[in-house]
Amino acid sequence: MCDGLYAAGSRDVVYVPDNPLSHVLGVLEDTYRDVTTTIATREEEAFGIAAGLYLGGRRPTVMLQSSGLGNSLNALGSLLLPYQIPVLVIVSMRGDAGEWNAAQVPLGRAVAPICDALGLPVAVAETPETTAATVQLVGQTAFGTRIPGVCQLPRRVTMPPKPAA
């Protein structure tokens, strides 16, 4: 994932923490020292910060959990989309196959329909091996078309089940 966003030209990650992605900031700090990270208090705020980074000539990435997409809708609908401010959006999925918490299921199910209703293109990182390429393509498409692009990371990729003994 870090390889993919870096290859798409992103050097700024704005992030609301999520357990499956908890090691990502460490990887960025260790391996990509020219990537700056900002932890926001809320996903909508993260999109505001990302918009400001773009106005300042950067190519921002926002990472969030699927439930946080619900906190982001007005920022997407009334700032990023009408102003054509592109952001690479990486959504760590909850509520899909492998979920244990019922409170995560409704928003998880709603991610794709919400993106469709807003007109946000969505791609799914199907396997760990293809994640970097998918993230890179979503980012390049977003920055090339000035439409925020969403890459979903399913739970089966971020938290694969342990093989049966």
Partner 1 sequence: MTSLEAIGHVVHAAGDAPIVASLGHPAYDLFGAGDRPANFYTWGSMGLASSIGLGLALAQPGLRVHVLDGDGSLLMNLGSLATIGWKRPANFVLIVLDNERYATTGGQDTATAHGADLEAAARAMGFTSCVTVRSADALAESLAQTTKASAPALSERRESKGPWMIVVKVQESAPTAKPPLDCVFIKQRFMAAIGCAEPATAGERP
State how far the alpha carbon of 96 is from the alpha carbons of 43, 106, 108, 112, in Å: 20, 10, 6, 12
Angle at 146 between CA 75 and CA 125, to 5 degrees: 80
| Binding string, residues 60-99; x marks residues near partner 1 by CB under 8 A | x-------------xx-xxx--xxxx--------------
Of the residues 26, 57, 113, 161, which one makes contact with partner 1 according to CB under 8 A: 57
Residue 119 touches partner 1, criterion: CB under 8 A: no
Q: What is the DSSP string of 109-142?
A: HHHHHHHHHHT--EEE--SHHHHHHHHHHHHHHH
Residue 113 in contact with partner 1, rule: CB under 8 A: no
Q: Is 6 in the site for partner 1 (CB under 8 A)?
A: no
Chain positions contacting partner 1, by CB under 8 A? 12, 14, 36, 38-42, 44-45, 47-58, 60, 74-75, 77-79, 82-85, 133, 136-137, 140, 143-146
